[in-house]
Structure 1
C-alpha cells in the first residue's frame, strides 16, 4: 500500500510573482485566477514569501487608522504591511513550505500549525514546483470504495500472513471500512486496524474482529529486568 504524498495532489502549474510586483497587479491576479494566495519567488525561483488575501486586506482594514501604541506590536506590523506597495513589502515571510514527498497527513498538520491555507512545494534544490491547498489534501477522500477496498484487503492480507487460521473480511461503504473475522492474537487485530486506518480515503474503520489470545496482557504481566 502506497501512502499518498503532496506530489499526488498538488497543483504543478503554479502561479508565482516577483518581489517587485505591484499591489494592484496582485489583487488582479488573485481575482483572475480565483486563488487566495500566491508565492513570491526570487530570480532562481526560490520561494521567499507568500502574499495572501489577508495580506492585501490590510490596506483596506487600516485605512485612516490611528498609529498604534508602541506596545501593540502585532497591530504595528499589520499597519506597516498596509502601507506596502509591492509583493516584497506585503508578503508573509519566511514561507512555510513542503517537499513533494511529504505525506499529505504531515502537510495537513503543518498547515494547521502555521495557520495557513496553502503551502508552496519546493524540490530538493529549493525551487518552486507546485502549491498544495486544503482542498487538495481532501482529494484522497474522492477515491472510490472499490479502490479503498482493494488497498484495505491488501493491508489485511499482509498482516495475516503471520497467522495460520486467521480470516478477516472487508466491506467498504462511502469510505467506512468494516472489518469482520477472527484472528489468533490481540496484537494482530490491532495491527490490522492500524494499517487499514492508514489507507488513503478511509473515513472510519468499524472493528468487528475477535481474537483467541490476548497477548498484550501477557506482555504487561512480565516483570521488567534491570541490568546493573
Structure 2
C-alpha cells in the first residue's frame, strides 16, 4: 500500500545560491522569493549547506570580522523523494530544522520540503481518503468483498464498521487504514467470527499427531 512520500509534496523549483554568492544577492533571493532560507550548491547542484535569515543576521552582527566570511550552515540535513512523510517530519524534529533539501541518488538537489509541505497531506478530502481505504486496504491488500465493511470518513477520522471471518484480518484493516495518508484517527467498530490470534497451549506431555 502506497503512502505519500516527500516527492509528492516537495517544491521542485528551488531557489539556490553558490558558495561565492555575495551577501546582498543572497538577501535579494530570500526577499524576492518570499523564503527564509536557501540551499547553497556547487556546479553539479550538490548541496554544500543552507543559508537562512538567522545566518545572515549573524553575519550582519559580526560585520568586519574576517572569520565570518562564510555564511551558511553545513552540512545540510537532507532527505530523498522516496522518504515517507513521517520519517521526514521526525528528521526535522530531531535536527531542529524547518526545511530539508531533497536529493536524488547522485546527491544532486531536486527539491526542498518544509514543515508546511508535510502538513499538506492533511488537506486531502474525506472522499480521497475513503477511496484509498476501500481500494488499497480492503480490496487490494485484504481482498475483502464489497459490503462486508462500511467505511465512513469525516474530517480525516475513519470509522470501520463490519465483520470479517478472522480477528487478525479485522485488526490489520484497522492498522492499515491508520497508515493511509491524511488519516488522523481510526474508530474501530469491527467484529470477527474467529479469534485466530490466540495460541492454544497443549498440556505437558501431549503430542499432536502428524497426518
Is 1:156 aligned to 2:138, yes or no? yes
Query: How do residues 24-43 of structure 1 correspond to structure 2 at under 5 angstroms?
Result: 24-43=24-43
* Aligned partners of 1:166 and 1:184 also within 8 Å: no
In structure 2, relative to structure 1, the CA distance for the partners of 1:222 and 1:125 (3 Å cut) is farther
Distance 2:184 2:147 in 1: 25
SS at match of 1:198: coil
In structure 2, relative to structure 1, the CA distance for the partners of 1:83 and 1:24 (3 Å cut) is farther
Higher helix share: 1
* Deviation string, structure 1 residues 31-72 (Cα, Å, up to 9, x no partner): 221111100001111001011122223246x569xxxxxxxx
- Equivalent residue number for residue 68 of structure 2: 84
TM (norm. structure 1) is 0.79
* Aligned partners of 2:62 and 2:68 also within 8 Å: no
* Aligned partners of 1:44 and 1:127 also within 8 Å: yes
C-alpha displacement of 1:165: 11
Residues paired across the two proteins, number: 201
C-alpha displacement of 1:15: 0.3
- Equivalent residue number for residue 74 of structure 1: none
Is 1:147 aligned to 2:131, yes or no? no
C-alpha displacement of 1:206: 0.8
Distance 1:108 1:99 in 2: 13
Query: What are structure 2's unaligned runs of at least 5 residues?
Result: 204-211
C-alpha displacement of 1:131: 0.6
Query: How do residues 104-115 of structure 1 correspond to structure 2 at under 5 angstroms?
Result: 104-115=85-96
Segments ≥4 residues shifted beyond 3 Å: 163-166
Query: How do residues 1-228 of structure 1 correspond to structure 2 at under 5 angstroms?
Result: 1-59=1-59, 84-85=68-69, 89-154=70-135, 155-161=137-143, 167-218=148-199, 221=201
CA RMSD of aligned residues (A): 2.6
TM (norm. structure 2) is 0.85
